[in-house]
Amino acid sequence: MPTCWLVSEDDCHKPVHLPHHHVLTLGRGPETRIKDQKCSRRQVELRADCNKGLISVKQLGTNPTSVDNVVVGKGNQVTLKPGQRLHMVNQLYPYTVSFSEDTSSPTSAREGSKSNKRPLQRDEGEKESPARKVAVSSHREREADDPPLAEKAKPASAEVEPSFSAGHWNQGLKVSMQDPKLQVYKDEKVVVIKDKYPKARHHWLVLPWESIPSLKALRLKHCDLLKHMQHVGGSMVQQCPDGQKLRFRLGYHAIPSMSHVHLHVISQDFDSPCLKNKKHWNSFTTDYFIESEDVIAMLERDGKVAVKDGTSELLKLPLRCHVCHKEQATIPKLKDHLKTHLTS
């Protein structure tokens, strides 16, 4: 019979074993390392059915638990399946579920779960297996006298982790970076794709071919790669028709929801129907968004990237205009307000 594990998307702690048909209560405490007072010590009740490959989730706490952005509701019960994401409380502290045949130890189960969840971090000297080459296809409108970056690209060997499960939601970038329809540039080190759900008029992601699961996996040896990613992102801005008219920022989410390091290149108009909620807004306009230059400087200074405690709380801050800092009550009102800056 498979064994079930609840896996922290933030890598805050080891996976939690959920025995078959055993009721387990989780919330704020040492097991999850959640210190948020809005999360009850008895926030959720979990019951795994290892034969069916699912978990029953019952919300016990007052503040909302959600599965794939759908609030469970106090006293209500929903089903969590592989590929779905559980937020413990207030759209924070994300978890996924993994079923594994390996019952030898929590450590081996964690590694097994990561084969479905995200690429395993490799040793310093170990190389990854080369995967198929991908074709280049550019779908951006460019000025006639400015040759597309894609035309300058060299054939690239996409060195990607072969063990991930393409169907898992947080592995979406691994799939998208291989899609010629999304690619706008590539070279031997990186590929640039359009964000599928852009939060502004212009929103690209710069991804390395090297498999790097998160900011936490970055080391001093990656500085040159990150500088190259920043250079490519800057080139995207320079070749953008609105590059002189709009302001852009290049940076990383402190705690990204998607596996595989990716640099956001995003215009600051935030004029997009895909920008729908406070979490979207605050992830790009607060310190949750770390400038590319700051990440590189941190790596050069400390040899690693550190994310401050409580960073996830930034997603709950009030909606404030990033230009004049006036607070807005709702996303629609915020968007109306932003138009005054675009026309001024």
Closest CA to 130 of 217, 211, 221: 211
Q: In angstroms, how far is the first alpha carbon of the chain from the final one?
A: 64
pLDDT at 14: 87
Question: Both tokens of residue 259?
Answer: 């596996």
pLDDT at 2: 81
pLDDT at 282: 97
Q: Bridge-partner residues for 94, per DSSP?
A: 87
pLDDT at 82: 87
For 38, the 3-state DSSP assignment is: coil
d(CA 87, CA 66): 5
In one-letter notation, the amino acid at residue 81 is K
Told to judge if 262 belongs to the known catalytic residues of this protein, a careful annotator would answer yes
Closest CA to 156 of 210, 229, 232, 204: 210
Cβ-proximal residues to 136 (8 Å cutoff; 6+ apart), any chain: 150, 153, 180, 183, 185, 186
pLDDT at 162: 31
Q: Are 125 and 98 in contact (CB under 8 A)?
A: no
For 44, the 3-state DSSP assignment is: strand
- What backbone phi and psi angles, to 5 degrees, belong to 4? -110, 140
Question: What rounded mean pLDDT belongs to the chain?
Answer: 81
Question: Both tokens of residue 273?
Answer: 């129907």
Q: What is the pLDDT of residues 66-78, one digit of tens each?
A: 998 788 999 999 9
> All domains of the chain, ordered by start, with CATH?
3-117 (2.60.200.20), 130-343 (3.30.428.10)
Per-residue pLDDT of the chain (344 residues; tens, 9 = 90+): 788 989 998 777 889 999 999 899 999 998 999 999 999 999 999 999 988 888 999 999 999 999 987 889 999 999 998 888 899 999 889 899 888 765 444 444 444 444 444 433 333 333 443 333 333 333 333 322 333 443 333 333 223 233 334 444 456 787 888 888 889 999 999 999 999 899 999 999 999 999 998 899 999 999 999 999 999 999 999 999 998 899 999 999 999 888 889 999 999 999 999 999 999 999 999 999 999 999 999 999 999 999 988 999 999 999 999 999 999 999 999 999 999 998 65
CA triplet 138, 147, 154: central angle to 5 degrees?
65
Q: Are 142 and 239 in contact (CB under 8 A)?
A: yes
Which position among 262, 264, 280, 322 bears the catalytic label?
262
Q: What global pTM score does this model have?
A: 0.55
Ramachandran category for residue 75: left, alpha or beta (phi over 0 → left; psi -120 to 50 → alpha):
left
pLDDT at 9: 82
pLDDT at 101: 66
